[in-house]
Amino acid sequence: MKKQIAIACLVCMATGATMAQEQVLNVYSARHYPTDEALYANFTKTTGIRLNRVDADDAGILARLKAEGTASPADIILLVDASRLWRGEVEGLFQPVKSKVLDDAIPAQYRGKTTPTGETPWFGFSTRARVIVYDKAKVKKEDVDTYEELGAPKNKGKLCIRSGSHPYNLSLFGSVTEHLGDAAAEQWLKGMVSNMARAPKGGDTDQIKAVASGECSIAVTNTYYLARIMRSNNPDDHTIMDRMGVVFPNQATWGTHVNIAGGAVAKNAKNLTNAIKFLEYLASAPAQDHFANGNNEWPAAKGVKISNPALQAMTGGSFKSETIPISVVGMNQVKVQQMLDRVGFK
């Protein structure tokens, strides 16, 4: 009997030790791309830290964090829109952290506002440019090489675009508002409404396909949607790209608008050390290469070479991007939404 008790105790101790050794990070993620599974699996394989993931959109994640408060189990927050990262920062939902690895890797324009003591609330790990695609048989490149021309009378009846209230468009419109000023930006949005070939609907891929089908002649899309089609083995997708021209707008002025996907440590994270380790992993060369080749995003970390053939084909590997502060884009969103309502941009 004593021997059985002793064995049972040893089993209990071994089980307890195993449980104590298991390390876990709870991740709230707006990145719901199937290709990211390899990104997460590699982190676990390298570190032994298991990831529990909750998937939702940016707005849902921020709302959940506020509702959960101090009881939130979240350690890591991953969002795919710069203005939502800014919103999480100003609402105090993130825990600013200090990391030389992250500070050295991520350029200042792709980070949140650093505190006086050197902590940063969030970091961008990949970007996606908001570009214009057009039917080469119907539209001249020089007629769509700026965002402003999307609202010009010469493009009346040619434009397809997703909902104006989608975060990707709100960020673009917030940026253009800062460049043009409120009055000119509202007139620009009004011009876009006049230029629409049909009411806004669908996602970015739908806009690309609408140009290819002849429903419209001009559309706006994030680059990673376009790159997916470019890298597809489907002959129909090759036909789409044969018809399509791509322009990175405003290369002669302020540069093309880019949006950021990034991450932060949750305000009430229980696993701070491992959470920082995960963010540092996202800035590493293997993870950055995954963003480029797995999901066709532009790496945010300094010095990362792009080997993705689609991204290379679009620009030759580089383009002029705007450097407007993320905070400005975020702060403009409320008045942009009011403009959209006034001009009837659905």
Given a cut of 90, whether residue 19 has pLDDT beyond it is: no
Band (pLDDT 50/70/90 cuts) for residue 318 is confident
Most confident among 27-41, 206-220, 296-310, 311-325 (mean pLDDT): 206-220
CB 81 within 8 A of CB 167: yes
CB 177 within 8 A of CB 332: yes
Mean pLDDT of 72-78: 98
Q: Which residues contact 225 (CB under 8 A, 6 or more apart)?
A: 203, 204, 205, 208
Burial-class residue 161 by CB neighbours within 10 Å (0-12, 13-18, 19+): buried
pLDDT at position 3: 45
pLDDT tens digits along 224-235: 999 999 999 999
Band (pLDDT 50/70/90 cuts) for residue 328 is confident
Rounded Cα distance, 101 and 284, in Å = 9
Mean pLDDT of 188-196: 98
Given a cut of 70, whether residue 49 has pLDDT beyond it is: yes
CB 224 within 8 A of CB 139: no
pLDDT at position 7: 39
Q: Does the domain formed by 2-126+259-314 have CATH 3.40.190.10?
A: yes
Class of domain 129-257+322-343: alpha beta
Given a cut of 70, whether residue 16 has pLDDT beyond it is: no
pLDDT at position 307: 82
Percent of the chain with pLDDT over 90: 84
Band (pLDDT 50/70/90 cuts) for residue 13 is very low
The token duo for 279 is 């963010």
Percent of the chain with pLDDT over 70: 94
Mean pLDDT of 94-118: 94
pLDDT at position 327: 80
Rounded Cα distance, 294 and 125, in Å = 14
CB 160 within 8 A of CB 197: yes
Given a cut of 80, whether residue 12 has pLDDT beyond it is: no
Band (pLDDT 50/70/90 cuts) for residue 324 is confident
Nearest CA to 288 out of 132, 157, 60, 124 is that of 124
Contacts 24+ apart (CB under 8 A), 107-113: 107/300, 107/302, 109/323, 109/325, 109/326, 110/260, 110/262, 110/300, 112/85, 112/86, 112/264, 112/326, 113/89, 113/327
pLDDT at position 83: 87
Sign of CA dihedral 42, 43, 48, 50: negative
pLDDT at position 35: 87
CB 113 within 8 A of CB 290: no
Rounded Cα distance, 249 and 141, in Å = 10
Given a cut of 60, whether residue 58 has pLDDT beyond it is: yes
Mean pLDDT of 186-191: 98
pLDDT at position 265: 98
Residues of the chain with CATH 3.40.190.10: 2-126+259-314, 129-257+322-343
Mean pLDDT of 23-47: 94
pLDDT at position 325: 83
pLDDT at position 279: 98
Band (pLDDT 50/70/90 cuts) for residue 305 is confident
10-24, 137-151, 252-266, 285-299: least confidently modelled range: 10-24
pLDDT at position 21: 57
Element (H, E) at 24: strand 23-29
Band (pLDDT 50/70/90 cuts) for residue 9 is very low
pLDDT at position 317: 63
Please provide the average confidence, as pLDDT, over all residues in the chain: 92
